[in-house]
Amino acid sequence: MRTVAGIAASPGIAIAKAYLLEMPELQVERQTVADTKAELQRLERALAAAKAELEEIRLQTEARLGADKAAIFEAHVLVLSDPELIGAVQAKVESEGVNAEYALAETADFYISLFAQMDNDYMKERAADIEDVTQRVLAQLLQVKLPDLSLLQEEVVIVAEDLTPSETAQMDRRYVKGFTTNIGGRTSHSAIMARSLGIPAIVGTKDITRQVQDGEMIILDGNDGMVLVQPDEEQLVAYNDKQLMQQQQQEQWRKLVQEPSVTADGHTVELAANIGTPDDVAGALVNGAEGVGLFRTEFLYMGRNALPTEEEQLQAYRAVLEGMGGKPVVVRTLDIGGDKELPYLQLPKELNPFLGFRAIRLCLAETDIFRTQIRALLRASVSGNLKIMFPMIATLQEFRAAKEIVAEEKAKLQASGHAVSEAIELGIMIEIPAAALLADQFAKEVDFFSIGTNDLIQYTMAADRMNEQVAHLYQPFNPALLRLIDGVIQAAHAQGKWVGMCGEMAGDLQALPILLALGLDEFSMSAASILPTRSALRGLSQLQLQQLREEILAKATPEEVLALLDEQLEEVYA
């Protein structure tokens, strides 16, 4: 047995075989072949096998994620049947007497660089398709197995260098019992996705892909960030028991689904869910969400080849608003950038993507993209209780410009006969220290704030949320951060505005007493955290916590803050 430590990213225990998600190196050498006919037949067989594989992936994807997500694989099959490309490969084998791998790799490289250089998005996508498909056929020719999550047939724990948010979103929960990665932090988007999907995860292990062999048995404990490789019988029994206890705990929490979110002394707050797609609404409701505090709309833009249209977005927003049945729904406008990329936008690579051209900065520059989204939101607004929130606001000018665009699009829609709700609140994320410090000014103009601690912590501490080497500086309990949060809440309340939090800190049970002490109104979190939070709330006294506010803010270190809470816990838990 070996153990590997990482960052606990999503709670729960997974016990299954490791599935190493690593792309093998495909080495292609030039060889001369005497029998070109036999070589062409070998190529033919590899093409047929690759097509069959793609067809299987297409069917699996369509069944699980729908026809639009599966369409990409149809495009790949078409590439394999393209007479120009395949004809060129065959001609090369015949005329030069070379092996099929070499002929394919050379021909594909030619087309890939030709298309990739064109100033045309469609052709650039074709280049990516050819590259993808070539790898698949080469793997067949070289008899190397490519990992593919959509072809899983047994329960596994995924072991990978890193996972993109869309890879995480596409995991089939029947088979993927957990995942662990070399890089990433608790607030990387793959970690956030894992929590909303309820998949145990450990990130930031540095070298798990080198510590574990494909197929080895592993236990992943997402509660304490430990991976046990090749556990012995005793450990297996112990962890099976632990898993069972957690299931029993879940059943206790289930009883609170319809209960109000109220402290022992009668103070009510709102517990809302963070969602990424309309499909997440069901999970939010099952877990007792009283609203959606953050709909990360960028996931509608990911895992596809082009921007979603106004109609497509309208359907998605409507589905969420109707699904929530009149409960408040905070929809955040496109927050692309950082660890969330949109390859089809062809944005230049930046040195510091978390400090770069992203979110509202991009939306206010590329206003077509922004206006399309705003129109879809306004049209959907009559289907429920919509609130619109702008991400990464640093200055008042940005908020005013975004608000102005909303007003313009509203007027245009109404002039063309569309109904738009008159009760839409407009708010901002507080995730940049400049906005937190100027909250008193913002509070005069916005309807609400939602504190995005995932980014606010990284910008306040200058510690990348994705970098496990500076994870020790990523401190939610640092008094510097707590003072910023306090200032935001005080400033909002002075203007009669409400304040939510939709960063991961909102669902952190250790942070709950502090956030109550500071007077937070709304807590938005992964659906799976709602019931544990509601349960903890019932044991806390808001009045007593409020009296601790000044003492908390006067502390010098996170350790002192936590020690104070520990001391007071008996008092606080009424």
As measured in angstroms, the least distance from the Cβ of 337 to ligand PEP is 9
| Choices 168-176, 251-259, 393-401, 450-458; region in contact with ligand PEP by CB under 6 A | 450-458
189 classed as catalytic:
yes
Interaction partner, residue 453 (Mg ion, ligand PEP, none; CB < 5-8 Å by kind): ligand PEP
Q: Are 422 and 413 in contact (CB under 8 A)?
A: no
Interface pick for ligand PEP out of 291, 337, 452, 476 (rule CB under 6 A)? 452
418 classed as catalytic:
no
Interaction partner, residue 503 (Mg ion, ligand PEP, none; CB < 5-8 Å by kind): ligand PEP
As measured in angstroms, the least distance from the Cβ of 476 to ligand PEP is 11
Q: Are 271 and 290 in contact (CB under 8 A)?
A: yes
C-alpha 410: how far from chain center: 30
As measured in angstroms, the least distance from the Cβ of 432 to ligand PEP is 10
The DSSP letter of residue 272 is E
Q: Which of 292, 340, 339, 337 is nearest to 316 (CA)?
A: 292
Interface pick for ligand PEP out of 502, 517, 527, 531 (rule CB under 6 A)? 502
Instruction: Pull the structure tokens for residue 469.
Output: 């080497």
| Choices 127-135, 213-221, 451-459, 565-573; region in contact with ligand PEP by CB under 6 A | 451-459
Paired sense of beta strands 217-221 and 13-20, if any = antiparallel
CB nearer to ligand PEP: pick between 170 and 453 = 453
Q: Which of 147, 236, 146, 222 is nearest to 181 (CA)?
A: 222
Give the x/- contact pattern for Mg ion in 416-435, rule: CB under 5 A.
---------------x----
Phi, psi torsion values for 4, nearest 5 degrees: -130, 130
Active-site pick, 76, 189, 418, 493: 189
CB nearer to ligand PEP: pick between 281 and 393 = 393
335 sits near ligand PEP (criterion: CB under 6 A): yes
Cα separation of 12 and 37, whole Å? 56
Q: Which of 19, 353, 383, 360 is nearest to 177 (CA)?
A: 19
Place of tokens 């052709």: 123
Place of tokens 């020790």: 472
The answer to whether 549 is a known ligand-binding residue is no
Q: Which of 463, 490, 487, 460 is nearest to 474 (CA)?
A: 463
Cα dihedral 111, 117, 123, 129, rounded to 10, equals: 50
Q: Considering only residues 531 through 570, tell me which ones interact with ligand PEP, judged by CB under 6 A.
A: none
**Consecutive H or E run containing 20:** strand 13-20
Q: What SS3 class is residue 295?
A: strand
CB nearer to ligand PEP: pick between 15 and 451 = 451
CB nearer to ligand PEP: pick between 507 and 532 = 507
Residue type, position 216, single letter:
E
Q: How far is CA 134 from CA 70, 146, 260, 320, 420, in A?
A: 19, 12, 56, 39, 49
CB nearer to Mg ion: pick between 39 and 455 = 455
Cα separation of 55 and 35, whole Å? 31
Interface pick for ligand PEP out of 90, 205, 453, 541 (rule CB under 6 A)? 453
Interface pick for ligand PEP out of 53, 431, 468, 486 (rule CB under 6 A)? 431
CB nearer to ligand PEP: pick between 316 and 505 = 505
Q: Which of 173, 169, 196 is nearest to 525 (CA)?
A: 196
Paired sense of beta strands 448-451 and 425-430, if any = parallel
Residue type, position 224, single letter:
D
The answer to whether 296 is a known ligand-binding residue is yes
Active-site pick, 267, 363, 418, 502: 502
The answer to whether 454 is a known ligand-binding residue is yes
Interaction partner, residue 296 (Mg ion, ligand PEP, none; CB < 5-8 Å by kind): ligand PEP
| Choices 119-127, 374-382, 439-447, 453-461; region in contact with ligand PEP by CB under 6 A | 453-461
As measured in angstroms, the least distance from the Cβ of 458 to ligand PEP is 8
As measured in angstroms, the least distance from the Cβ of 335 to ligand PEP is 6
Cα dihedral 101, 107, 109, 110, rounded to 10, equals: 170
Instruction: Please count the other Cβ atoms lying within 10 Å of the Cβ belonging to residue 43.
Output: 22
Q: Are 431 and 503 in contact (CB under 8 A)?
A: yes
Paired sense of beta strands 425-430 and 328-332, if any = unpaired
Number of residues that bind Mg ion (CB under 5 A): 3
The answer to whether 521 is a known ligand-binding residue is no
Give the x/- contact pattern for Mg ion in 432-471, rule: CB under 5 A.
--------------------x--x----------------
Please state the residue numbers annotated as binding site for Mg(2+).
Answer: 431, 455
Residue numbers belonging to the annotated binding site for phosphoenolpyruvate? 296, 332, 454-455, 465
What residues make contact with Mg ion under the rule CB under 5 A?
A: 431, 452, 455
Catalytic amino acids? 189, 502
Give the interface with ligand PEP as residue ranges (CB under 6 A).
294, 296, 335, 431, 452-455, 502-503
Annotated binding site: 296, 332, 431, 454-455, 465
